[in-house]
Structure 1
């Protein structure tokens, strides 16, 4: 199967869809476009109007579920795990390395799953390890570049969760077991070493701590649509509903 998938790299999109549908037995929606990429899950489905760009390697997961209108850009690696799920309208930009360690020697019982909620976005040049579960909530923007999420520390593993509508700045680090509440802004270069249950706050520093509550201006930015091309461009000047 892997050999067949590799041979499909330079096939036009409509032939690649036929291979996934009839040889890999995936459910493929209407209007799906796949560029010069290798897509080799062991099963799953791709929703209507999903777009996968060029030179991506998406392989090794037991189940791949891509919702409607998702976008995977160019030069991304998504490898391994039991389940990879992108909700409707989620997006992975370019040059991201997202993987689960194959056959890890760890204590406990990790759940190697990656879940991006509806309209969640991962921009570019990030590293995400989902040897244990990593979840990004709805409308999360994992912004900028060069951030890292880790779920393992030698033999110890723990999940990582980012709450709905968080805006995560460039160059942050998240350690195993860390968590962010909903509607938070994470400052550039922050190191998240624990669980934050607070919502609507600015979190920043090394190690990170709660700096202040978000004011109305910041809340407007957090609540703004992550995919305005799908949900409308809205108004950045009006009042925020609380």
Structure 2
């Protein structure tokens, strides 16, 4: 009798868990549909109003182009954020943009919904995407936000088709950090746990596989390494064109 009762309790717990997971999945699907509809509203004002219904926060002068799809757990933007067409920001992630950020066309800032499932709690997914002030994320980049991705003030992810990956079969140290006033060229790859220091330049096609934390370096190669230090009188600055 005792064993039967134990089995019954366990069965009820499993059923309750399954029902909870189904309800969460259903809510996510409904939210996906509703936010997709918001993305197709005809004016920027209506789109911002629609997204605010999901408790997303936008500062003054923000612009979200037609078709930009935002469906996340939390979204905060400072003043003068601009997100261009075809960009998708999706998944159980927290997103924080500071002032004066441009997100170009076709960027994907994503995390699978399963990352928030209780069965994945032991993996400690941070699910956080932060971008500092005066930053540029140009076009068609992929940001895989299972871990934490932090792009600090004044940095540019320039060009096209770079990838920033924070999860994998054996990844433990997942978080990616890009220091202040850095320039990342086209088709660069950041592996889980990779980071660079301040005022660094990463050459086109480089693959950053580890922490390269010295400041004012020029990085390149596969895997990326320090090619040389920037000259002391190197006054290279980025010209903001937006």
Q: Which TM bucket (shorter chain)? A: 0.7 to 0.9
What is the aligned length? 206
Q: Alignment partner for residue 136 of structure 1, among 151, 154, 159?
A: 151
1:224 corresponds to 2:242: no
**Do the aligned residues in 2 keep the contact of 1:161 with 1:180 (CA within 8 Å)?**
yes
**Is 1:88 the counterpart of 2:99 in the alignment?**
yes
Distance 1:201 1:17 in 2: 40
Deviation at 1:11, TM superposition (A): 3.7
- Partner residue in 1 for 2:57: 45
The equivalent position to 1:185 in structure 2, one of 196, 201, 210, is 201
SS in 1 for 2:45: helix
Stretches of structure 2 lacking an aligned partner (at least 5 in a row): 1-29
Within the candidate set 208, 221, 226, 1:210 is matched to 226
Q: Residues 35 and 69 of structure 2 are in contact (CA less than 8 Å); yes or no, is this contact kept in structure 1? A: no
1:125 paired to 2:140: yes
Q: Which runs of 5+ in 1 are unaligned?
A: 25-41, 230-242
Counterpart Cα distance in 2 of 1:101 and 1:4? 18
1:22-48 CA-partner distances (Å, limit 9, x unpaired): xx1xxxxxxxxxxxxxxxxx4231000
Which TM-score applies when normalising by structure 1? 0.78
- Larger CA Rg, structure 1 vs 2: 2
Q: 1:54 deviation in Å?
A: 2.0
TM score, norm. by length of structure 2: 0.78
1:101 is matched with which residue? 112
Comparing both structures, which one devotes a greater share of its residues to helix? 2
**Structure 2: how far apart are the matches of 1:111 and 1:63?**
13
